[in-house]
Amino acid sequence: MLEPDRLLHERYQLQHRLSENQVRQTWLAKDLQAPPDSDDRVVLKLLPFGGEVQWEHLKLFEREAHILQQLQHPRIPRYRDYFHIDDRSLWFALVQEYIPANSLKQWQENGKRFDERDVRRIARELLDILIYLHHLNPPVLHRDLKPSNLLVDDSWQVYLVDFGAVQDKSAIEGSTFTVVGTYGYAPMEQFGGRTVPASDLYALGATLIHLLSGIAPADLPQADLRFQFRDRISASEGLICWLEKMTEPSVERRFASAREAKEALDAPPRALATVPQQAIANTSGQGGIFDPNVPVPEEILGWNWGAFLMANWWPLTNRVWFGLLSWMPFPFGSIVNVLLGYKGNEWAWKSRRWRSIEQFKSHQRGWTIAGIFFAIPWYVLMWMILWWLLEEL
């Protein structure tokens, strides 16, 4: 049981708890071995292993510690130590430099109202941090940028904290991934397991909109997956256009890098208001599902849970008639189910004309939701009935 004044690792004395969630605890502690002329306060992140904490949580925790060891930036709290405690239960601990500052979330809760000048200053400082992270080899992606993970001290210096969702791009594409990020701040491609530097830019844009409007991104109205915030903030047309480009649903329509985003932010207002939008060709419905000559947008590729779970019905609205073979008896029908999950997005894009990528994504999300609420309970019920029948025999 963790409590104030407890000594950990014969060095760190707990002071008080800073935060807690269902996975880990964060404490302010005193480093009893700190040099006399230095700040002896540190932050301890503690992860209990077992129960609700699974191997995936531990893997993310160890990845955070490993990457923090490699980072050297004045606006990222420095790594200090990593150890484990075996006391009835197993605890893993990450020690970091303590930054005496409030998070942007705390500033908001304390009544602070952010204007355009504040937001531009915060944006520039964070973009400098992202330029550093994204230019490392391999690039480091934060993946959970939001007000609670951004600290601002009394001198208005901004710090980026909580690298618990961090990812380096050395990970092999196509390997198993963990869905991380916060709804409203994380872009759609991140929930599909495809995170790129522009994903952090989206989260930064959503955070800045939150600061200006006082409304969490998840609570803002949307049109074609774009935040509708113009009538909810007081800002120049140039900054509004910049924020709209930062939070474009399509990766290709955002700024290509943090450096490009910073240069656009510092450009004259007229240049900001006319940031060009890169046109994306709509190649949907131009050929058969097996035609290799039809280009498919990279951002829609990936596993299609709606096609996999609702294989008997999904082909009807997506016009992938090959999928009706899923009605065949086992095992042939099951093989088609798997093929639809693996290739469904590509086949649906080729076989039917879609108004936009956003419409396509929205349609597939609808099928995924239907699969979760109808198909999965149906499969569970069938297996329970089958099990009961086998028990009766």
Domain shared by 351 and 306, yes or no: yes
Beta bridge partners of 26: 19, 45
Q: Has residue 331 been placed in a domain? A: yes
Domain shared by 44 and 120, yes or no: no
177 pLDDT band, cuts 50/70/90, is very low
Domain shared by 263 and 310, yes or no: no
Q: Has residue 1 been placed in a domain? A: no
Domain shared by 339 and 352, yes or no: yes
* Mean pLDDT score across all residues of the chain: 87
Q: What does the pLDDT read at residue 356?
A: 81
Q: Has residue 278 been placed in a domain? A: no
Q: What does the pLDDT read at residue 74?
A: 96
Q: What does the pLDDT read at residue 133?
A: 96
**Of 45, 66, 97, which one is at a domain's C-terminal end?**
97
Q: What does the pLDDT read at residue 38?
A: 86
76 pLDDT band, cuts 50/70/90, is very high
- Only one residue has tokens 């060009």, namely 276
Domain shared by 176 and 223, yes or no: yes
Mean pLDDT in residue range 79-90: 86
**Of 273, 288, 321, which one is at a domain's C-terminal end?**
273
172 pLDDT band, cuts 50/70/90, is very low
Q: Has residue 75 been placed in a domain? A: yes
Domain shared by 113 and 246, yes or no: yes
* Distance of alpha carbon 315 from alpha carbon 319, whole angstroms: 5
**Of 77, 97, 117, which one is at a domain's C-terminal end?**
97
Domain shared by 251 and 319, yes or no: no
CB burial of 13-33 (b: ≥16 within 10 Å; e: otherwise) equals: bbbeeeeeeebbbbbebbbee
Q: What does the pLDDT read at residue 229?
A: 95
Q: Has residue 260 been placed in a domain? A: yes
Torsion of CA 185, 187, 193, 197, to 10 degrees: -90
Q: Has residue 308 been placed in a domain? A: yes
Q: Has residue 286 been placed in a domain? A: no
Helix 357-370 / helix 332-351 crossing angle, nearest 10 deg = 160
Domain shared by 132 and 244, yes or no: yes
Q: What does the pLDDT read at residue 270?
A: 57
Domain shared by 93 and 119, yes or no: no
Domain shared by 305 and 240, yes or no: no
Q: What does the pLDDT read at residue 279?
A: 45
CATH (domain of 265): 1.10.510.10
Q: What does the pLDDT read at residue 298?
A: 79
87: annotated active-site residue: no
CATH (domain of 76): 3.30.200.20
Q: Has residue 289 been placed in a domain? A: no
% of residues, the chain, pLDDT over 70: 91
Domain shared by 23 and 76, yes or no: yes
3-state secondary structure 347-392: HHHHHCCCCCHHHHHHHHHHHHHHHHHHHHHHHHHHHHHHHHHHHH
pLDDT tens-place string over residues 26-70: 999 999 999 988 889 999 999 887 766 577 788 888 889 999 999
Q: What does the pLDDT read at residue 254?
A: 94
Catalytic residue among 144, 168, 219, 266: 144
Give the residue numbers spanning the domain of 377. 300-392
Domain shared by 124 and 267, yes or no: yes
Structural domains in the chain (count): 3
pLDDT tens-place string over residues 238-295: 999 999 999 999 999 999 899 999 999 987 655 554 444 444 557 788 768 888 877 8
